[in-house]
Amino acid sequence: MRDNHQSWGSYPKAYPQHVHPIRWRHEALPQTERTTSVLPYGNGRSYGDSCQNNGATLLTTHSLRRFISFDHDTGVLRCEGGVLLADILDNFVPQGWFLPVTPGTKHVSIGGAIANDVHGKNHHKAGTFGCHVRTVELLRSTGERITCSPHHHSELFRATIGGLGLTGLIVWADIQLKPITSPLIDKERIRFSGLDEFFDLSNQSNTSFEYTVGWIDCLANQQHTGRGVFIRGNHCADNAQSLTHIPRRTTLTVPFHLPSAVLHSGVIKIFNRVYYHLQPRQLTQARIPYEKFFYPLDTILHWNRLYGTRGFLQYQCVIPSRYEREGIRDLLSVIQQSQQGSFLAVIKTFGAIQSPGLLSFPKPGTTLALDFPFFGEQTLTLLTKLDSLVRETGGAVYPAKDAHMSSEDFQAYFPAWHKIEQLRDPKFSSSFWRRVTRLNTTPQHSTKSESYSLATEKEQAFAHHSLFNNMNQA
Binding stretches for other proteins (CB under 8 A): 1, 21, 23-26, 63, 66-70, 77, 79, 91, 473-474
**Residue whose CB is less far from other proteins, 91 or 193:** 91
**Residue whose CB is less far from other proteins, 145 or 310:** 145
**Residue whose CB is less far from other proteins, 1 or 261:** 1
Cα distances from 357 to residues 104, 171, 332, 449, in angstroms, run 20, 18, 29, 36
Task: Tell me if residue 413 falls in helix, strand or coil.
Answer: helix
- What is the distance, to the nearest Å, from the Cα of residue 126 to the centroid of all Cα atoms in its chain? 17
Nearest to 77 by CA among 113, 45, 48: 113
Beta strands in 297-378 (DSSP E): 300-301, 312-320, 345-350, 365-373
Residue 133: enclosing H or E segment and its boundaries? Answer: strand 133-139
Smallest distance from other proteins to CB 299, Å: 19
- How does DSSP assign 229-255, residue by residue? EEEEEEE---TTS-TT-------EE--
Number of residues in the chain: 474
Cβ–Cβ < 8 Å for 197, 233: no
Q: How many whole angstroms separate alpha carbon 206 and alpha carbon 121?
A: 10
Nearest to 167 by CA among 193, 194, 138: 138
Cβ–Cβ < 8 Å for 162, 130: yes
**Residue whose CB is less far from other proteins, 67 or 275:** 67
Smallest distance from other proteins to CB 44, Å: 16
Smallest distance from other proteins to CB 274, Å: 37
Smallest distance from other proteins to CB 385, Å: 42
Nearest to 60 by CA among 1, 14, 116: 1
**Residue whose CB is less far from other proteins, 261 or 474:** 474
Cα distances from 6 to residues 2, 29, 74, 472, in angstroms, run 8, 22, 38, 12
**Residue whose CB is less far from other proteins, 42 or 395:** 42
Smallest distance from other proteins to CB 4, Å: 11
Cα distances from 332 to residues 102, 203, 326, 369, 374, in angstroms, run 26, 21, 10, 11, 18
Smallest distance from other proteins to CB 78, Å: 9
Smallest distance from other proteins to CB 265, Å: 35
**Residue whose CB is less far from other proteins, 76 or 306:** 76
Smallest distance from other proteins to CB 110, Å: 14
**Residue whose CB is less far from other proteins, 4 or 460:** 4
Smallest distance from other proteins to CB 248, Å: 14
**Residue whose CB is less far from other proteins, 21 or 320:** 21
